[in-house]
Amino acid sequence: MALMADYLVQGCQMALMLLLAPLLTGWIRWVKARLLRRRGPSILQPYRDLLKLLRKEVVLADSASWLFRVAPYLIFSALWVGASLVPTFASGLPFSWAADLIAIVALLGTARFFLALAGLDVGTSFGGIGSSREMMIASLAEPAMLMMVFTLSLLAGTTELSSVARFMSTADVGLRVSLALSLLALIMVAIAENARIPVDNPATHLELTMVHEAMVLEYSGRHLALIELSSSLKLLLYFSLIGCIFAPWGMATAGSTPGAYLYGTAIYMAKLALGGFLLALFETSIAKMRVFRVDEFLGAALMLGLLGALLLFVSRGL
């Protein structure tokens, strides 16, 4: 019976991820519009967009291959599984041991690999420019993220995200230089990986500096819906990750009462709302940078991450 309840909570987690992802995107768009003194669309607009896209037919380019049609499903499922493995309202869910933090980073890599291939598939110049730049960004962002993983696992003695979250909510952590460095690195990586300003602009289509939007330019209908949902899921994944590592308060543990789960969910949504507001604030107050400044930005993230890990290799107290 307890096992059944555990699996049920795991299922809830997966469903919650799917339901919350568009809401987070809508919330950020709304806050951004308000900060720009616009009225902005409703928070629920992303849901409506998704439903509209799902019902439309797909217009496939003549030169598109089977890979182009399979990729959205693959990308979506890889990101959904990845997002569901991050503890959100509760830690220690029954499948949390299936993949540790390194595997989650690699799952993000799987999704990116297929997205970049899909960008190249139709054989247009825009698709190529997007794929090429996305992989350039990723080849700096992924190691920076892994350096953050190193720091965490050296501190917590584990790469299991649930155990890391539990460790981070105890008093043994304290204030550490290495943690501050890796938080900074993780935020920089999150901005780059989610195609946010100043690295990329999620709201534009016709701009030579676009990266993510260029790759998915040829997608339409249900495929586009899946791609859009996947990028919302990815954003949610990064928010949950930062939340569960650096703000692990209020999280329920596996096997607690429904009340505790509900409380955990409420706290989690409050964290998301705050995080989304901060992201919108940051995005409206900064200009986009040139593509060939991105490598300096991410190189700094990599160095910060490495510095954090190095400090811990030298002394466990830092």
Partner 1 sequence: MSLPLLLILLMILLAVGGYGIAAARQPGGSRRVYGATLVICVILLLLALARLLAGQGVQTLILPFGLPWLGAYFQLDALSAFFLVVVNLGGAIASLFALGYGQHERSPERVLPFFPAFLAGMNLVLVAGDAFSFLFAWEFMSISSWALVMAHHQESANARAGYLYLVMAFFGTLTLLLAFGLLAGADGGYTFGAMRAHVVSPGLAALVLVLALLGAGSKAGVVPLHVWLPLAHPAAPSHVSALMSGVMTKVAVYGFIRIVFDLLGEPVAWWWGGVVLALGGVTALLGVLYALMQHDLKRLLAYHTVENIGIIFIGLGLALAFQANLMYASAALALTAALFHVLNHSLFKSLLFLGSGAVLTATGERDMEHLGGLIRPMPWTALAFLIGAAAISALPPLNGFVSEWLTFQAILISPELPQWMLKFLVPAVGALLALSAALAATCFVKAFGITFLGRPRSPVAAQARETDLYSLTAMFILAGLCLLAGILPGLVVDGLSAAVGQLNGSALLPVQRSQPWLTLVPVTDVKSTYNGLLMLLFIGVSGFTAAWLIHRLASGRVRRGPAWDCGFPEPSPMTQYTAGSFAQPIRRVFGSILFQARERVVMPPPGDLRPARLEVEIHDPIWERGYVPVVNAVVAVSSRFNYLQYLTIRRYLGLVFGALVVLLLGMVLWR
- Binding to partner 1, residues 273-312 (CB under 8 A): 291-292, 295, 302, 306, 309-310, 312
Interface pick for partner 1 out of 11, 123, 255, 258 (rule CB under 8 A): 123
Name which position in 41, 47, 110, 277 contacts partner 1 (CB under 8 A). 110
What's phi and psi for 90, nearest 5 deg? -145, 150
139 binds partner 1 (CB under 8 A): yes
The one-letter code for the residue type at 65 is S
Q: Does residue 100 interact with partner 1 by CB under 8 A?
A: yes
Scanning the structure block, which residue is given the tokens 């996305």?
Answer: 134
State which residue, 159 or 194, has the beta carbon closest to partner 1. 159
Spatial separation of the C-alpha atoms in residues 86 and 233, rounded to whole Å: 12
Contact 107, 82 (CB under 8 A): yes
| From candidates 146, 179, 233, 280, binder to partner 1 by CB under 8 A | 146
**Number of residues forming the site for partner 1 (CB under 8 A):** 85
Do residues 241 and 272 make contact, with C-beta atoms less than 8 angstroms apart? no
What is the Cα–Cα distance from 3 to 74, expressed in whole angstroms? 29
Nearer to partner 1, 33 or 136 (CB): 136
Q: What does the radius of gyration of the chain's CA atoms come to, in whole angstroms? A: 19
Cα gap 95→89, rounded to integer Å: 15
Considering only residues 201 to 240 of the shown chain, the ones binding partner 1 according to CB under 8 A are 205-206, 217-218, 221-222, 226
The answer to whether residue 116 forms part of the interface with partner 1 (CB under 8 A) is yes
d(CA 189, CA 241): 12
Distance in Å from the first CA to the final CA of the chain: 44
In terms of CB distance, is 285 or 315 closer to partner 1? 315
The conformation of residue 207, written as its DSSP 8-state character, comes to -
Binding residue (CB under 8 A) for partner 1 from 102, 183, 247, 260? 102
Q: Which is nearer to partner 1, 194 or 275 (CB)?
A: 194
Q: Which is nearer to partner 1, 163 or 265 (CB)?
A: 163
Binding mask 235-274 for partner 1 (x = CB under 8 A): ----------------------------------------
- Which CB, 32 or 166, lies closer to partner 1? 166
Which two tokens mark 64? 């598109």
Task: Assess 150 for contact with partner 1 (CB under 8 A).
Answer: yes
- Compute the distance between CA of residue 118 and CA of residue 127 in angstroms, rounded to an integer: 8
Strand partners, 91: 253
Q: Which stretch binds partner 1 (CB under 8 A): 102-110, 188-196, 232-240, 256-264?
A: 102-110
Cis peptide before 143 (omega within 30 of 0): no
Q: How far is CA 20 from CA 13, 28, 41, 83, 170, in A?
A: 10, 12, 17, 11, 28
Nearer to partner 1, 31 or 181 (CB): 181
* Residue nearer to partner 1 on the CB measure, 226 or 272: 226
Which of 32, 87, 88, 160 lies at the binding interface for partner 1 (CB under 8 A)?
160
Smallest gap from residue 226 Cβ to partner 1 (A): 7
The footprint of partner 1 on residues 35-74 (CB under 8 A) is: 54-67, 73-74
**Could you tell me which residues come within 8 angstroms of residue 285 by beta carbon, excluding any fewer than 6 positions away?**
none
